[in-house]
Amino acid sequence: MSLERILAAIRDVPDFPKPGILFKDITPALEDAEVFRLINDLFAERYAGKGIEKVVGIDARGFILGAALADRLGAGFVPIRKKGKLPSDSFEASYELEYGEATIEVHKDAIAPGQRVVLVDDLLATGGTAAAALDLLERLNADVVETAFLIELTFLAGREKLGERPIFAPIQY
């Protein structure tokens, strides 16, 4: 089954980037041509025919999965970047990290009001990043059809931070 093949290609790295964190490393899944295709199939099958006009990817692993999905759907790709990287007029949103704060940005003209979009990242942990990204998309008046993650760490309850907004997360720990 394809989900099992994808699962088998995700590597656990203990204590990265700091003690106590079990990092879910997707690079082995990306490096394997068949597994990478299975991941892209999974997302493309879910959103094909849904009228998606833009796929929005979160810096940085959301760019990999999001750009592949955009190409499959014939949609445009929009990056949400860490602060200071986008060259043109941007909206920004800040969120709490375990220590301190992070800020992400999106270009103000990246999405027309009412455009149908999917937001993509590799993994849902505490939900802070995705919640901030959804705030940015609300400011652009995007119609967010769903937020897609390859992986959800359910024990961190990140889903609760996203309220009623729909989530697709085929792999859950």
Residue 105 is a catalytic residue: no
CA nearest neighbour of 71 among 52, 58, 93: 52
Q: How far is the CB of 32 from ligand AMP (least distance, A)?
A: 18
Our CB check for ligand AMP shows the closer of 35 and 53 to be: 35
Task: List binders of ligand AMP among 65-104 (CB under 6 A).
Answer: none
Which residues are CB-contacts of 117 (< 8 A; sequence separation ≥ 6)?
Answer: 52, 53, 54, 55, 56, 78, 111, 137, 142, 143, 144, 145
Cβ 61 to ligand AMP, closest distance in Å? Answer: 5
Residues 47, 145 contacting (CB under 8 angstroms)? yes
Position 88, amino acid: S
Of 31, 45, 53, 98, the active-site residue reads 98
Residue 61 interacting with ligand AMP (CB under 6 A): yes
Q: Which is nearer to ligand AMP, 141 or 154 (CB)?
A: 154
> Which member of 5, 46, 61, 116 is catalytic?
61
Region near ligand AMP per CB under 6 A, out of 45-53, 68-76, 107-115, 123-131: 123-131
Residue 129 interacts with ligand AMP (CB under 6 A): yes or no = yes
User: Active site includes 98?
Assistant: yes
Residue 77 Cβ vs ligand AMP, minimum distance, rounded to whole Å: 17
Residues that bind ligand AMP (CB under 6 A): 21-24, 58, 61, 121-130, 158
**Active site residue ranges:** 61, 98
